[in-house]
Amino acid sequence: MYSLERVAEVLELRGIGLTYSEISRRTGVSRATIRDWDAGRLPRGRGRTANVPTCQACGLDRHAFEDLPAAYPYLLGIYLGDGSISSHPRGVYRLRVSLDLRYPALIDEVEAAIRAVAPRNKVSRRKCSNGGYRRSAEPTWLELGCYSKSWPCLFPQHGPGKKHEREITLVDWQRALVRRQPGLLLRGLIHSDGCRFINTGRAGWRWPRYAFSNTSEDILEIFCFGCELLGLHHTRAPRTVYVSRKHDVAVLDRYVGPKA
């Protein structure tokens, strides 16, 4: 008897276009069984009439958002800055995150966060150049990709068009998770669209400062929300939020620090 999770995994892999043979090699399920499931002949108790709570949006097990791992607020910040979600056949979606190859430790951390949030799904890496995927060009950035039917459920900010051209707000369960780990949200946002740099003055003083820049006013407000939860003083400029006071920078250093 196969579990609901295994059935869902097989159908997701089929949804992204993998052959029966490839799915069988990955999961250990026979090709004949995969063919039956793909045709809608699911195991008894595994169909839509099964007495198992399911998500009305993606059809998988109902999500326990409150039990998402601590890595979720970090991945949320990464998604709001550098992530995108695209639709594919059979109700499958792909999360993509674009990252600079100069920061290998950051890339590893984002991949680990994706694996923590979607532990049964494969994460792929693809090196890219500024000219696209041409092999002749020197790669400068890397794309992390992961398929799942649940990405729009986990990131309800997903929608058509660019993020700065549509409303971006956190839903109640996301706010609850962020309140538990506001530092990880800020870490994700700064790792995506922020930086830590040395600010200087005319009198010769030098002190580190954080800046977060984004073209979406709503995402800037989400960054400010995280700062308020940590009690950080912040200032606004067009498309940028700064954290500059010595004590507040020291607090952010505990969660963020220089990129690596």
Same domain flag for 71 and 47: no
**DSSP E strand stretches across the chain:** 83-88, 92-100, 123-128, 141-148, 194-200, 206-213, 235-237, 240-243
260 domain residue, yes or no: no
One domain, residues 134 and 199: no
d(CA 185, CA 99): 17
- Same structural domain, 157 and 82: yes
Rounded distance between C-alpha atoms, residue 179 and residue 90, angstroms? 35
Between the CA of residue 112 and those of 71, 79, 166, what are the distances in Å? 8, 14, 29
Same structural domain, 185 and 240: yes
Range of the domain at 13: 1-52
- Choice between 258 and 152, residue whose per-residue pLDDT is larger: 152
Q: Phi/psi zone of residue 59: left (φ > 0), alpha (ψ -120 to 50 degrees), beta?
A: left
Phi, psi of 251 (to 5 degrees): -65, -45
| Half-sphere exposure at residue 194, Cβ-oriented, CA atoms within 13 angstroms | 27
Give domain status of residue 149, yes or no: yes
Is 150 in the same domain as 77? Answer: yes
Tell which residue, 229, 115, 213, has the closest CA to residue 170: 229
Q: Which whole number is the average pLDDT over 128-153?
A: 81
Rounded average pLDDT over 205-234: 96
- CB neighbourhood size of 143 (10 A): 16
User: pLDDT for 88-114, tens place per residue?
Assistant: 887 889 999 999 999 999 999 999 999
* Total tally of structural domains belonging to the chain: 3
Q: Is residue 188 domain-resident?
A: yes
- Residue 184: CATH number of its domain: 3.10.28.10
- Identify whether 59 is part of a domain: no
- 84 and 138 housed in the same domain: yes
Task: State the residue for tokens 């250093």.
Answer: 253
Residue 37 CA to residue 250 CA, distance in Å, equals 54
Residue 84 covered by a domain: yes
Mean pLDDT (the chain, rounded): 87
Side-chain half-sphere CA neighbours of 19 within 13 A = 3
Task: Measure Cα distances from 199 to 40, 202, 205 in Å.
Answer: 61, 11, 8
pLDDT digits (tens, 9 = 90+) for 175-193: 999 999 999 999 999 999 9
Residue where a domain stops, chosen among 162, 190, 218: 162
Examine the domain organization and report whether 94 and 31 are in the same domain: no
The pLDDT of residue 46 is above 60: no
